[in-house]
Amino acid sequence: MPRELSHVDAANRPQMVDVGAKPVTRRTAQAQATVHFPADVAAQLHAAGHVTPKGAVLTVANIAGVMGAKATSQLIPLCHPLSLDRCDIVIRMEGEQALVDCTVACRGSTGVEMEALTGASIAALTIYDMCKALSHDIVIGEIRLLRKSGGKHEVDHLKATGAPSKDPVQAPRVEMVPVDAAAVDAIPARPAS
């Protein structure tokens, strides 16, 4: 039997789902966003310790991702406001791309996948914003749910693909290196258009 949409009533009007009768359980979700850089921009960022004239790209994106996850119910109309127990953003630079993982957890009666997706998305958007003076050819790619648990429907796309299904918080983080001011100053800003 096909699933039905839960955010519309019998007359197809939008509604916030009543989760009052659902049990409170530990809910977790992990999402990932990918940011692709042109080769020259990736090289500039690496040489400058991931700092642009706007500031420390990865640090600002990390904070923005946490803020985004916490603000999900204010951004997505029918999401329930949740009290998050945990929100971790891990950004890994791999070649010419940044992989942004957002892991969220709470004790509640509804899932936290939208919070994880929002956190990853906002962190990716912040990376774009921090780097757009270097190029407008930066691309935010796939944004996807990797895992969710604690509710009626468990999801583990990592297990299905054979990828290691480990907590990204335990994964190696980008090493913050001392900033070379000369390297930052050498990054050309795009001329105002």
Q: What is the mean pLDDT of the chain?
A: 84
Closest CA to 117 of 147, 161, 84: 147
The domain made up of 30-155 has a fold known as Alpha-Beta Plaits (3.30.70)
Task: For residue 39, report the phi and psi dihedrals to the nearest 5 degrees.
Answer: -55, -40
Cα–Cα separations (whole angstroms), residue 36 to 28, 40, 140: 27, 12, 6
In DSSP notation, the chain reads -----SSB-TTS-B-----TTSPPEEEEEEEEEEEE--HHHHHHHHHTTSEETTEEHHHHHHHHHHHHHHTHHHHSTTPPP---SEEEEEEEEETTEEEEEEEEEEEESS--HHHHHHHHHHHHHHHHHHHTTT-S--EEEEEEEEEEESSSS-EEHHHHHT-----GGGSPPPPP----HHHHHTSPPPPP-
CB contact at 8 A, 144 and 125: no
Question: Can you give the pLDDT at residue 165?
Answer: 46
Q: What is the mean pLDDT of residues 8-35?
A: 81
User: Can you tell me which residue has the tokens 């992990």?
Assistant: 30
Q: How confident is the model at residue 183 (pLDDT cuts 50, 70, 90)?
A: low
Q: Is the pLDDT of residue 21 over 90?
A: no
Q: How confident is the model at residue 143 (pLDDT cuts 50, 70, 90)?
A: very high
Instruction: Give the orientation angle of helix 113-131 with respect to helix 57-70, to 10 degrees.
Output: 150
Closest CA to 145 of 174, 173, 104: 104
129 counts as catalytic: yes
Question: Can you give the pLDDT at residue 99?
Answer: 97
Q: How confident is the model at residue 103 (pLDDT cuts 50, 70, 90)?
A: very high
**Which of the two residues, 121 and 155, has the higher pLDDT score?**
121
Closest CA to 98 of 70, 54, 60, 147: 60
Domain ranges within the chain, ordered by starting residue: 30-155
- Residue of 18, 129, 137, 180 marked catalytic: 129
Percent of the chain surpassing pLDDT 90: 61
Side chain identity at 79, as an amino acid letter? C
Question: Can you give the pLDDT at residue 28?
Answer: 95
Q: What is the mean pLDDT of residues 102-109?
A: 94
Question: Can you give the pLDDT at residue 22?
Answer: 82
Residue range 61-93, pLDDT digits in tens? 999 999 999 999 999 988 889 999 999 999 999
Question: Can you give the pLDDT at residue 169?
Answer: 44
Round to whole Å and give the CA distance between 3 and 82: 25
